[in-house]
Amino acid sequence: MLDIFNSDAFSVTNLTDAINNISFVPGRIGQMGLFEVESVDTTTIAIEKKGDILVLVPPTPRGGPGVTIDKEKRDLRSLIIPHFEINDAIYAEEVQNVRAFGQERALETVIQKVAQRQRTHVNSLAATEEHARLGAIKGVVTYADGSSLNLFNEFGVQQDQEIAFDLANKKQGNLRAACADVIRRIADKLGGVPFSGVHAFCGDEFFDALIKNEEVRESYLNWQAAAELRSSYVSGGMSYGAFPFGGIMWENYRGKVGGTAFVESSKCHIFPVGVPGLFKSVYAPADYEETVNTMGQRLYSRQWPMPNGKGRYLDTQMNALHYCTRPQVLLKGKAGGSGS
């Protein structure tokens, strides 16, 4: 077995290439391609607030001149890129009989076993990444250990007060006017920066109340697109339904860990789309000897021998930070109002 694991097929490079190519069902945000990806060769990044925008401070060569920053500025932050790691093991007992098939067959069998473990790791890290990206859309990224990154607090940006959508209101034009106000707010906050639309991720209760709204239903009455109100389980199973109304694409977001939904049932989170560089994903290198000071990749995988010779340890990791460069454009809504 040791000869098998010492082959090139089980090097850090080949295992990492394999795990980055494993087919898995990504989250809705990953599916939409909202986040621009950047790689760095460090485990922290410097972010500076320039006006209302958060930008990465570019790295400079060691020993060379650095970036000149006004000493009076207090808007520079150094953010640690979170490290996520899953540890596993392949025991000799699991592959003891593959030697009878010869080296080539043995290698194929063991690779299959490792790939099965990797799929589980990849799915867990994909869910972790999706949750972090949704946090960036909310403006507050929370992690499983209870820690969080609040972009509003970090850079002194004030989020607008939560919008109460009176979805039970029967007055014609009430909801459409509220949508128009949302779009105007976002446009004002973006200034001259272009955007192609506005999207809202909705919790179950909010979305159900929205499609029951008389104004929404009347808008779709006797129109072929009314089928959109009945659609569910769309976008390859990544969404429970979506439809446009009032210039906003309303989507019933699908995602939870255990019994906890990523989007609170009575809430919605609204953000512009088509804004260049609005959302960023930054990947740092793994903490392996082979990857020090190299440009980060999304996922890494590595194996090494147990000290007692009974098997191999398997390690899968992700080093990623997700954030919004203009958190002031992120709006939050809730189902509320008098219904009159």
Judged against a pLDDT cut of 60, whether residue 136 lies above it is answered with yes
**156: confidence class by pLDDT, cuts 50, 70, 90:** confident
State the pLDDT at residue 208. Answer: 93
In a domain, 154, yes or no: no
CA angle at 16 for the pair 298 and 291, rounded to the nearest 5°: 75
Give a yes or no: residue 183 inside a domain.
yes
In a domain, residue 263? The reply is yes
263 and 313 share one domain? no
Q: What is the pLDDT of residue 97?
A: 60
Tokens read off for 218: 């009347």
Residue 122 lies in a domain: yes
Residues 102 and 201 in one domain: no
What's the pLDDT score for residue 29? 93
**Which residue would you say has higher pLDDT here, 136 or 155?**
136
Strand (E) or helix (H) holding 335: strand 331-336
Query: Quick one: tokens of 306?
Result: 């147990």
* Residue 2 in this model has a pLDDT that exceeds 90: no
Least confident of 58-72, 75-89, 135-149, 202-216: 58-72
Query: 106 with 4: CB under 8 angstroms?
Result: yes
Q: At 100, which CATH number?
A: 3.15.30.10
Residue 6: band (very low, low, confident or very high) from pLDDT cuts 50, 70, 90: low
Q: What is the mean pLDDT of the chain?
A: 81
Number of domains in the chain: 2
Q: Tell me what pLDDT residue 314 has.
A: 86
What integer pLDDT is reported at residue 229 of this predicted model? 56
Residue 106 sits in the same domain as residue 201: no
Domain shared by 258 and 299, yes or no: no
- What are the structure tokens assigned to 126, written together? 């994909």
User: Based on the domain organization, do 274 and 286 belong to the same domain?
Assistant: no
Q: What is the pLDDT of residue 108?
A: 54
Confidence of residue 310 (pLDDT cuts 50, 70, 90): confident
DSSP string, 212-246: H-HHHHHHHTTSGGGHHHH--SBTTTTEEEEEEET
CATH of the domain at 198: 3.30.1930
Distance in angstroms (rounded) separating the CA atoms of residues 58 and 22: 32
Cα distances (angstroms) measured from residue 204 to each of 56, 123, 157, 303: 36, 24, 29, 42
Looking at the structure, do residues 145 and 214 belong to the same domain, yes or no? no
Q: What is the secondary structure of 246-306 as a DSSP string? A: TTEEEEEE--EETTEESS-TTEEEEEEES-TT-EEEEE---SSGGGTTSPP-S-EEEEEE-
Q: Which of 200, 212, 205, 213 is nearest to 332 (CA)?
A: 200
The helix (run of H) or strand (run of E) holding residue 317 is: strand 311-324
Model confidence, pTM: 0.82
**Do 191 and 332 have their domain in common?**
yes
Question: Rounded distance, CA 318 to CA 324, Å?
Answer: 19
DSSP state of 42: S
Q: Which of 107, 94, 128 is nearest to 24 (CA)?
A: 128
| Residue with tokens 């390690």, as numbered in its chain | 315
- The verdict on 258 and 118 lying in the same domain is no
Residue 185: pLDDT over 70? yes
More confident residue, 308 or 267: 267
Examine residue 221 and state whether it is found in any structural domain, yes or no: yes
Give the Cα separation of 65 and 298 in Å (integer).
Answer: 30
Region 163-178: mean pLDDT is 91
Indicate if 243 and 314 belong to the same structural domain.
no
- Rounded distance between C-alpha atoms, residue 283 and residue 285, angstroms: 7
- Taking CA 168 as the corner, what is the angle to CA 185 and CA 170, rounded to the nearest 5 degrees? 90
Residues 250-292: tens digit of each pLDDT = 999 988 877 778 999 999 999 999 999 999 999 999 998 889 8
Question: Does any domain span residue 46?
Answer: yes
Structural domain of 234: 159-278+327-336
Of the pLDDT bands very low, low, confident and very high (cuts 50, 70, 90), residue 170 is: confident
DSSP result, 132-161: HHHHHHHTEEE-TTS-EEEHHHHTTPPPPP
